[in-house]
Amino acid sequence: MTIINKYLGECPHCFELSITTRMLSTNSWCSPNKVTGVAESSLMVCHKCKSFIWMEDIIILKRVDSNDTGHSWWLSVSESDAKKVLKNGQINSKKLTSPQKQNLEQFLLFKKNFRKRVILEDRAKGCLLGMDYADIDGGTSHMALLVYQSLVENDNIGGDKVDYGDIGRRYLEWYNNNAVDTGIVNAMVFDLVNEGVTFEEASKEIDKRLNGMTASSRPACRSLPISVYLAGIISKNPDKLTTSIFKKFIEQEVKLTHRHNHASRIAIAVNLICICLMLDYSLNESVKNGADFTSQKTRRSLGLTPKPIPITKKDLKNTGYADDALIAAIWFIRNTDSFDEAIKKSMKLKGKSNYCSVLVGAIGGALYGYFDIKNTIGKSGAFKYYNIESLTL
């Protein structure tokens, strides 16, 4: 059992009386952060004389009423000050004891992990809501929502599996209930599945009928909830997800409908770019990592080879071809200063089958994060009622 109480403590240096909240649990004292509820360092700061005081050295006078407003609070030590104390190895001319050193090290580790967690959740939310916002016709974002629902409702969160059969069934049910903006390839595959063949058989047959013209960028965005989920796994255990396993996660979803190798390669690239951004990599690092899965020509167009292909706005193509869409999306993100500007400029390029702007929404959302784009995207869209952050748990 944990009991949290407020106490009035005296600073041994200036004798100022200040309030501290102490949490008594299994016979040990610690100071809980009033915002997060997670234990902070037991090194405190007097608000008056600014001296550092270990909690055990605060002279506790009495327990105070919860409505006490006549006294200030003891302050928890800042990260920068904690680092300085650790570097000096002493405080108030006294050498740090092993428990004190350990306390500060744990405090700094917690702060680092907490910051990473906040960034991950903010950028994961930005990624899916940014994609949703940019998908004007709504088909791709609705399919992404079906992937999200499958992950949540099948208890995939926190595990290392995805039920692709369930995702396929959800796609088909959506299609059979007046779906809009399904895309030609998706619709043809769903029609065959309705006739009784498997998704694998249907996607192979449609690829054959279309002479391999199935290199769309659509799957790159609809599979993004899987990457939000994988980013959560990687953040906790970086060694758990190998490159081959990651590729398999994304490729299996893509091949439900699209068999062209470039549909898979660009989907893998886009998803890895977004994962890297969620994990606080820079844009350049993220694009470089993702582009490793693309063709030499695409890497050259992205400026990632010794002999790059110079790309200007007039060189961008408004097609649905996956490589063209990714090249254009990265160009708009690199050559604008905000999510809103990138979206608006990419929308002007949009052709009948262009998905560049949807990729801009996803990658840009993961780059800027939800907090920065929320005023632009508002609260409409397929994901507005869902707790996207839960996928990262």
Q: Residue 92 falls within a domain, yes or no?
A: no
In terms of domains, do 72 and 142 share one? no
pLDDT of residue 39: 47
CA–CA separation, 389 vs 128, rounded Å?
10
Q: Residue 94 falls within a domain, yes or no?
A: no
DSSP 309: P
Token pair, residue 5, equals 């109480």
In terms of domains, do 237 and 162 share one? yes
Phi then psi dihedrals of residue 165, to 5 deg: -65, -40
Bridge-based pairing state of the strands 90-91 and 75-76: unpaired
In sequence order, the β-bridge partners of residue 173 are none
Which of 74-83, 98-107, 303-312 tops mean pLDDT?
303-312
Query: What average pLDDT does the chain have?
Result: 87
In terms of domains, do 6 and 126 share one? no
User: What pLDDT band is residue 160 in, cutting at 50, 70 and 90?
Assistant: low
pTM beyond 0.85: the answer is no
Which residue range(s) make up the domain with 72? Answer: 2-80
Better-scored residue on pLDDT, 16 or 282:
282
In terms of domains, do 72 and 131 share one? no
**By mean pLDDT, which of 236-240, 260-264, 281-285, 320-324 is the weakest?**
236-240
Q: Residue 355 falls within a domain, yes or no?
A: yes
What average pLDDT does this structure show over 95-109? Answer: 89
Which helix H or strand E contains 247, and what residues bound it?
helix 243-254
pLDDT of residue 354: 58
Nearest of 339, 306, 361, 368 to residue 140 by alpha carbon: 361
In terms of domains, do 162 and 60 share one? no
Nearest of 61, 44, 46 to residue 16 by alpha carbon: 46
Contact 101, 331 (CB under 8 A): no
pLDDT of residue 263: 97
Phi then psi dihedrals of residue 343, to 5 deg: -65, -50
In terms of domains, do 76 and 124 share one? no
Is residue 168 scored above 80 in pLDDT? yes
Domain boundary among 80, 100, 131: 80
Domain boundary among 53, 80, 107: 80
pLDDT tens column, 301-345? 999 999 999 999 999 998 889 999 999 999 999 999 999 999 999
CA–CA separation, 345 vs 329, rounded Å?
10
Q: Residue 100 falls within a domain, yes or no?
A: no
25-31 CB contacts, 8 Å cutoff, 24+ apart: 25/1, 29/55, 29/56, 30/55, 31/55, 31/76
pLDDT tens column, 110-145? 888 888 889 999 999 999 999 999 998 899 999 999
CATH code assigned at 369: 1.10.4080.10
Contact 274, 363 (CB under 8 A): yes
Domain boundary among 23, 49, 80: 80
Is residue 23 scored above 50 in pLDDT? no
In terms of domains, do 242 and 319 share one? yes
User: What pLDDT band is residue 77 in, cutting at 50, 70 and 90?
Assistant: confident
Contact 167, 256 (CB under 8 A): yes
Q: Residue 338 falls within a domain, yes or no?
A: yes
pLDDT of residue 210: 97
In terms of domains, do 54 and 126 share one? no
pLDDT tens column, 198-252? 999 999 999 999 999 999 999 999 999 999 999 988 888 877 778 888 899 999 9
Q: Residue 109 falls within a domain, yes or no?
A: no
Contact 235, 279 (CB under 8 A): yes
- Count of residues in the chain: 393
In terms of domains, do 307 and 369 share one? yes
In terms of domains, do 147 and 259 share one? yes
Is residue 29 scored above 60 in pLDDT? no
CA–CA separation, 23 vs 21, rounded Å?
7
Nearest of 12, 139, 121, 128 to residue 74 by alpha carbon: 12
Token pair, residue 16, equals 């100022």
Q: Residue 53 falls within a domain, yes or no?
A: yes
Q: Considering just the CA atoms, what is the radius of gyration of the chain in Å?
A: 26
Q: Residue 85 falls within a domain, yes or no?
A: no
CA–CA separation, 356 vs 329, rounded Å?
5
CA–CA separation, 112 vs 172, rounded Å?
43
- The number of distinct structural domains making up the chain is 2
User: What pLDDT band is residue 31 in, cutting at 50, 70 and 90?
Assistant: very low
**By mean pLDDT, which of 192-196, 227-231, 323-327, 383-387 is the weakest?**
383-387
In terms of domains, do 271 and 353 share one? yes
Is residue 186 scored above 80 in pLDDT? yes
Contact 361, 133 (CB under 8 A): yes
Contact 336, 342 (CB under 8 A): yes
pLDDT of residue 155: 76
In terms of domains, do 76 and 158 share one? no
